[in-house]
Amino acid sequence: MEEVKLQDKEKEVIKTPSSKKSGCEGCPAYREGNLTRLGINVSRYDFVVGLAGNPNVGKSTVFNALTGLNQHTGNWPGKTVTRAEGGFNFDEQNFKLVDLPGAYSLVSRSADEEIARNFILFGKPDVTIIVVDATRLERNLNLVLQILEITDQVVVCLNLVDEAERMGIQINERSLTRDLGVPVIPTSARYKKGLDNLLGAVSDVANERYLTKPRIKSYQNKKLSEAVQKVGTQIVSNFPELENTEWLAERVLDEDEDIIEALKSGELLNHVQTEEDYSIFDAKKLRKDGLNITFRYEQQIYETEKLAKSLRKDLIPNFHDELVENHFIEAGKIASHCVTYPDKKKGLYLDQFIDRIVTSRIWGFPLMFLMLAVVLWITIIGANYPSQGLAWLLLDQGHPFLKGLMSQIGMTWWLNGVLIDGMYLATAWVISVMLPPMAIFFPLFTLLEDFGYLPRVAFNLDRLFKAAGSHGKQALTMSMGFGCNAAGIISTRIIDSPRERLIAIVTNNFALCNGRWPTQILIAALFIGGLAPAYLAGLLSSAAVILVAVLGIFLTFVVSWALSKTILKGEASAFSLELPPYRPPRIWQTLYKSLLDRTIFVLWRAIIFALPAGALIWLVANINFGGSSIAEHMITFMNPFGILIGLNGVILLAYIVAIPANEIVIPTILMLTVMVTGVTGMGEGAGVMFEMDGKDALMHLLQAGGWTLLTAVNLMTFSLIHNPCSTTIYTIYKETRSAKWTSVAALLPLIMGFIVTLAIAQVWGLFV
């Protein structure tokens, strides 16, 4: 659908104050709740609204509350790494809302902050909502003051007022409104408080019912003021229609390459608001993609640059410092008469108390492992029964029923095989194996995330990442990888340095992802748990799985270190990590939302991949040539190599078939084993995946297939150390735009997996 910006005459703008009633309704603060959330359906809109703010102040929460969309939220800085768009209707006008990545500043030249800046500067939104953290107002005001230099079409959303109250911090929003010249609306977006007032203010500013006061920038430094004037005048003479010339002049003086390039290409002159239009401003990215941009105004700007260069000589060195310093002096002044801090910082005290324990020298690490162990243990124990229930329903009952139905309507045997024995069974398997552990693991993880624990993990582990030559925020991307590696890869955008980001991308695969947990859990329960007496079996198999996960973390460090010593050499980049205040977790909302936006999402992806894979498995097991099936030919061919590394041909073939999704490795192995061993009475024919009735039957089958304890140990090892699934590989390519790094990320773990399993098999052979 084409996006249409309504013409001014089409707008039914009521230019009367929206409050002409009595009592509460007459109060300018009163708002009726006439909001309609539009989700992503914003093809026609009256106004564009940008949503900016420091990292981790609740922008995504505000975005979700207004649009009804489900942007993932979590209590750690840098979570929103791309722009998200949605819409809402208020007072019969359509607003398009753009959620921007968190930014500390508009002048730092980091990639995600540039996205925010470019949108505000070039996208020219009708209104910009700046979300600020009421508990950290002074620091947040730096960004507010910077944005106010570009536009005064601003509404400040003073978020997290409930948190501020808990900490005893009082903010006088009226005097803040006076100081800033734009409406300041207190909200608590997590609890949907104050949003009606926020919308009212946005609507008032958009419709010019509320006239904001532009801030007039005054420079303390006289020379700087003159230099800005001179450069500004020259920019105006070249581009008379350009706005914000003073701000642009200051940027040119500060040698801001992106602004200089935008001036040269003349792109600043256009009014753009769609994604496509907007991306052309990303000159750096365009050049990386091999596209040409023409610098039509190269000559004019060359003169301006020359002028700026000569003026810069007279200015103090590092005058950039002074610019920022002035903002903070201003912010300090504003905060000092709008904010009252408590004598005793009561809420802050609790936060500090928790922080001192979870980051303490003695308890920091044990607590981290304990949390991981508890989460895994609950997942392993809790997933057992629902998994059995689903297997009974979908496999024991559903499969025979569908088979019966198919033969009744007289479907050809091969179509029946592909559809029911292949596609249906693969999908049913994936659902019954994956859904229960995900439905437990993701909410638990989300609770920790929502509470604010993850940044503390990053804080504790940073020293190790530093020793490995990589970035402390890699701990956050690694944690995401425990859920899904593709999601982990995308989250590496929070790392600014390209070198450190590549390290994080290549090593993310060592975080054991959700698709691999079931394999680990099943094999550990069968072979490792079986080594101990029954009452210890659960504990021992949990310990084995944790050991594999910890091995993955260890490999993350080792491989990061090796990469930063060899092909990704370089200095560690500047590191700073904000530790956000803890937020009381909202249990029911977390359960509900993580089920919706994570569990269902990952499950859906698994199903999409399981359907064709199921068909493929059935086909390779049933198409014969030379007397045996394709699968049998391949297994015979790969078996010698498989045995050498302590696995077998069946497992290797299963890993080839399961490249699209790790989840279907186990079902594929079982199906192929039945076919090869010819064990009867267990399946329903070649290429049919099935659930085994009990662990004994499963053990019997696998032993008939030649499995030993070594096979189990090496399967668990190989499941950790092998190539990422095809979705993750594709994501790596999308993120790096490099065939070389995609190959490294795909092949390095595979080769390592072969080496490690070979070593285990050979050492094992010496002792057993």
Partner 1 sequence: MHTLRDLKHGKVAKVIKLDDSCQGFERFRLLDLGVVPGTEISHALDNPMHEPLAYFIRGAVIALRKEQTGKILIELKEE
**Whole-number Å distance between alpha carbons of 550 and 511:** 9
Here's the x/- map for partner 1, 490-529, by CB under 8 A: it reads as ------x---------------------------------
**Whole-number Å distance between alpha carbons of 126 and 746:** 45
SS3 at position 371: helix
With a CB cutoff of 8 Å and minimum separation 6, the contacts of 448 are 371, 375, 454
- Tell which residue, 140, 131, 168, 59, has the closest CA to residue 335: 140
Q: Are strands 93-99 and 154-159 parallel, antiparallel or unpaired?
A: unpaired
Q: HEC profile for 210-223?
A: CCCCCCCCCCCCHH
Q: How many residues bind partner 1 (CB under 8 A)?
A: 45
Buried b / exposed e across 571-595, counting CB within 10 Å, b at 16+?
A: ebeeeebebbbbbebeeeebbebbe
Does 360 bind partner 1 (CB under 8 A)? Our answer is yes
The amino acid present at 578, given as its one-letter code, is: E
Q: Which of 30, 295, 392, 575 binds partner 1 (CB under 8 A)?
A: 575
On the CB side of 692, CA atoms within 13 Å amount to: 20
Rank residues 132 and 548 by Cβ distance to partner 1 and give the closer one: 132
Does 137 bind partner 1 (CB under 8 A)? Our answer is yes
For the CB of residue 508, give the shortest distance to partner 1 in the complex, in Å.
22
Q: Which of 30, 295, 328, 641 binds partner 1 (CB under 8 A)?
A: 328
Asked if 459 contacts 562 with a C-beta cutoff of 8 angstroms, the reply is no
**Whole-number Å distance between alpha carbons of 747 and 181:** 57
**Whole-number Å distance between alpha carbons of 577 and 579:** 6
Rank residues 497 and 728 by Cβ distance to partner 1 and give the closer one: 497
C-alpha distances (whole Å) from 119 to each of 55, 70, 82, 732 are 16, 22, 12, 26
Strand partners, 463: none
- Judged by CB under 8 A, the chain residues 99 through 118 that form the site for partner 1 are 104-105, 107-110
Question: Residue 298 CB: number of other CB atoms within 10 A?
Answer: 13
For the CB of residue 747, give the shortest distance to partner 1 in the complex, in Å.
32
Question: Residue 303 CB: number of other CB atoms within 10 A?
Answer: 12
For the CB of residue 578, give the shortest distance to partner 1 in the complex, in Å.
5
With a CB cutoff of 8 Å and minimum separation 6, the contacts of 366 are none
Asked if 185 contacts 155 with a C-beta cutoff of 8 angstroms, the reply is yes
**Whole-number Å distance between alpha carbons of 483 and 478:** 9
Rank residues 145 and 391 by Cβ distance to partner 1 and give the closer one: 145
- Tell which residue, 687, 662, 138, has the closest CA to residue 434: 662
- Tell which residue, 81, 74, 80, 84, has the closest CA to residue 50: 84
Does 361 bind partner 1 (CB under 8 A)? Our answer is yes
Rank residues 189 and 358 by Cβ distance to partner 1 and give the closer one: 358
Does 477 bind partner 1 (CB under 8 A)? Our answer is no
On the CB side of 495, CA atoms within 13 Å amount to: 28
Rank residues 117 and 605 by Cβ distance to partner 1 and give the closer one: 117
Asked if 627 contacts 605 with a C-beta cutoff of 8 angstroms, the reply is no
Strand partners, 87: 39, 96
Q: Which of 278, 459, 641, 733 binds partner 1 (CB under 8 A)?
A: 459
Give the interface segment with partner 1, choosing from 88-96, 138-146, 154-162, 608-616 (CB under 8 A). Answer: 138-146
Rank residues 1 and 574 by Cβ distance to partner 1 and give the closer one: 574
Asked if 199 contacts 367 with a C-beta cutoff of 8 angstroms, the reply is no
For the CB of residue 337, give the shortest distance to partner 1 in the complex, in Å.
16
Does 138 bind partner 1 (CB under 8 A)? Our answer is yes
Give the interface segment with partner 1, choosing from 261-269, 463-471, 546-554, 691-699 (CB under 8 A). Answer: 463-471
With a CB cutoff of 8 Å and minimum separation 6, the contacts of 446 are 74, 590, 593, 594, 598
Rank residues 104 and 442 by Cβ distance to partner 1 and give the closer one: 104
Does 344 bind partner 1 (CB under 8 A)? Our answer is no
Strand partners, 185: 157
For the CB of residue 349, give the shortest distance to partner 1 in the complex, in Å.
13
**Whole-number Å distance between alpha carbons of 100 and 143:** 13
For the CB of residue 325, give the shortest distance to partner 1 in the complex, in Å.
4
Does 356 bind partner 1 (CB under 8 A)? Our answer is yes
Rank residues 365 and 414 by Cβ distance to partner 1 and give the closer one: 365
Asked if 701 contacts 679 with a C-beta cutoff of 8 angstroms, the reply is yes
Rank residues 25 and 571 by Cβ distance to partner 1 and give the closer one: 571
- Judged by CB under 8 A, the chain residues 142 through 161 that form the site for partner 1 are 142
**What is the Cα gyration radius of the chain?**
30
Rank residues 15 and 361 by Cβ distance to partner 1 and give the closer one: 361
Rank residues 475 and 513 by Cβ distance to partner 1 and give the closer one: 475
Q: Which of 4, 291, 316, 329 binds partner 1 (CB under 8 A)?
A: 329
With a CB cutoff of 8 Å and minimum separation 6, the contacts of 303 are 234
For the CB of residue 462, give the shortest distance to partner 1 in the complex, in Å.
5
For the CB of residue 579, give the shortest distance to partner 1 in the complex, in Å.
4
Here's the x/- map for partner 1, 651-680, by CB under 8 A: it reads as ------------------------------
Rank residues 254 and 396 by Cβ distance to partner 1 and give the closer one: 254
- Judged by CB under 8 A, the chain residues 172 through 211 that form the site for partner 1 are none
For the CB of residue 460, give the shortest distance to partner 1 in the complex, in Å.
5
Ramachandran quadrant class, 330 (left: phi over 0; alpha: psi -120 to 50; beta: rest): alpha
For the CB of residue 10, give the shortest distance to partner 1 in the complex, in Å.
41
Give the interface segment with partner 1, choosing from 17-25, 410-418, 431-439, 460-468 (CB under 8 A). Answer: 460-468
**Whole-number Å distance between alpha carbons of 51 and 154:** 10
For the CB of residue 574, give the shortest distance to partner 1 in the complex, in Å.
4
For the CB of residue 255, give the shortest distance to partner 1 in the complex, in Å.
11
Rank residues 459 and 730 by Cβ distance to partner 1 and give the closer one: 459
Rank residues 57 and 617 by Cβ distance to partner 1 and give the closer one: 57
For the CB of residue 575, give the shortest distance to partner 1 in the complex, in Å.
5
Here's the x/- map for partner 1, 69-98, by CB under 8 A: it reads as ------------------------------
Rank residues 114 and 735 by Cβ distance to partner 1 and give the closer one: 114
Binding site for partner 1 (CB under 8 A): 104-105, 107-110, 135-139, 142, 318, 320-321, 324-325, 328-329, 352, 355-356, 359-362, 364-365, 459-464, 466, 472, 496, 572-579
